[in-house]
Amino acid sequence: MSELEELRSRVRTFLSAELASGAFTPHCDSWLIGYDPEFSRRLGAAHLIGLMLPIEFGGMGGGPGHRLVVSEELLSAGAPVAAHWFAERQFAPSVLRHGTVAQQHEWIPKVIAGEVCIAIGLSEPDAGSDLASVRTKAEQVDGGWLISGTKVWTSSAHHADAMVVLARTSGQRHVGLSQFIVPLPNPNVDISPIRLISGEHHFNQVTFDETFVADSDILGEIGNGWAQAMHELAAERAGPERYLSTFPLLEALLRDLPSDSRSADDIGRVIADITTFRTINHKVVELLAAGDTSASEIAILKGIATAFEQETVGIALNIANEPGNPTLVSPAAMSLLREAQYQAPGFTIRGGTNEVLRGIVSKGLLK
Ligand SMILES: Cc1cc2nc3c(=O)[nH]c(=O)nc-3n(C[C@H](O)[C@H](O)[C@H](O)COP(=O)(O)OP(=O)(O)OC[C@H]3O[C@@H](n4cnc5c(N)ncnc54)[C@H](O)[C@@H]3O)c2cc1C
């Protein structure tokens, strides 16, 4: 058995034991809505977080393939990984690349142990796709900075131990942006829920009112925030969470489906698409690990894969509505279907909308 196959088998054993003990129920979009800090800690204790992070901090020091194998297994099982997902996917690599030695020792071991939840503070009421118009500002004072402004759609801020905030320290547009690690909760940070149509609370509006951040909490260099944020966004866009968010639903439906289902063609196409996305994804994570964050391939993968995820919800609905199926489809599959329907509109928006991604691809072609 190859090293990656052994790793895959280890994750499956871990997940089987968790499922058998009733520790979690599979969810669609579990990397965003499956918040379970205890699960994250158990995963950390099993050395299944931080596969690419250095051994000196408790990581495995592996390559992109190691991280991909673990991510694929966790997502396709619908495991509740939201408590540590952003921390491991983009925060720890950014602290490793740009952070001070003190920041690396403070944060990275905790990320690897599954002990920290990090929120990402990029979007603002008037700066989503056009991130360069960020208006949250940071003014230098004795020993640190005062941050004022509002971030919006901030996933998990109400659970987070810290939020990485992109703020303007000088200049205009892409120039003069900087990143700060703001510890939470904080008396000068107001976190208000933005509820989904289902009433659930996953993201927030976060307001900073002259919030003091010490110089020691600057992430990277003052003025280098745009480049740092783009690197993080590339990591955010490039993973299997862009085509596996609805996999638990598909799996549950397939389990219930009769072998002569008239949806067999659709199912075959879905499986072929997932296989294609996996192939592209393996290539894309290699590009990213080699430092190529501008790659059009990342934008292409996120664009077509998230459109596919939305399409699978429609296919799942057709399957559930096949004559005879409403009685065959299990309550668990129906619950996953409802969940996927609520989450699906966000698939092609979060991390950059598909229109914006098409712009990136066109610019790449013109280079
Ligand atoms: C589930 C979810 C979780 C999220 N979590 C976070 C988070 O944790 N942290 C965070 O910072 N943000 C988060 N976001 C915000 C997300 O990144 C933004 O919603 C997204 O970047 C779009 O920005 P906007 O909402 O301001 O829309 P706008 O930028 O106002 O776009 C509105 C519409 O105009 C189109 N448009 C805009 N510019 C162009 C252009 N140049 N060319 C063509 N069309 C264009 C867009 O495609 C879109 O259809 C989250 C969003 C969702 C849905």
Tens of pLDDT, residue by residue over 235-271, are 999 999 999 999 999 998 888 777 788 888 898 999 9
* Share of residues in the chain with pLDDT > 70 (%): 99
Ligand 1: residue of 349, 357, 360, 363 to mutate (most ligand atoms within 8 A of CB) is 349
pLDDT value of position 102: 98
pLDDT value of position 260: 81
pLDDT at residue 34 is higher than 80: yes
Averaged pLDDT score across all residues of the chain: 95
Instruction: Taking residues 99-127, report their average pLDDT.
Output: 98
pLDDT at residue 103 is higher than 80: yes
pLDDT at residue 294 is higher than 80: no
pLDDT value of position 325: 67
* CA dist 197 → 33, 202, 338, 345 (Å): 14, 11, 12, 11
Nearest to 168 by CA among 151, 187, 143: 151
Tell how far the Cα of 145 is from the centroid of ligand 1, in angstroms. 28
pLDDT in tens, 138-191: 999 999 999 999 999 999 999 999 999 999 999 999 999 999 999 999 999 999
Nearest to 77 by CA among 241, 237, 198: 241
Q: pLDDT grade, residue 100 (50/70/90)?
A: very high
- Helix and strand numbers, DSSP H then E, in the chain: 14, 8
pLDDT at residue 327 is higher than 80: no
pLDDT value of position 264: 85
Domain architecture of the chain: domains with CATH: 3-116 (1.10.540.10), 119-225 (2.40.110.10), 238-366 (1.20.140.10)
* Closest residue by CA, ligand 1 atom 29: 129
Contacts of residues 86-90 at CB distance under 8 Å and 24 or more positions apart, as own/partner, are 86/117, 86/118, 86/119, 86/120, 86/155, 86/156, 87/111, 87/116, 87/117, 87/118, 88/49, 88/50, 88/112, 89/235, 89/236, 89/239, 90/120, 90/232, 90/235, 90/236
Ligand 1: residue of 122, 129, 194, 208 to mutate (most ligand atoms within 8 A of CB) is 129
Tell how far the Cα of 280 is from the centroid of ligand 1, in angstroms. 24
pLDDT value of position 328: 65
pLDDT at residue 324 is higher than 80: no
Side-chain half-sphere exposure of 209, counting CA atoms within 13 A? 6
Tell how far the Cα of 62 is from the centroid of ligand 1, in angstroms. 33
Ligand 1 atom at shortest distance from the alpha carbon of 157: 8
What pTM was estimated for this model as a whole?
0.96
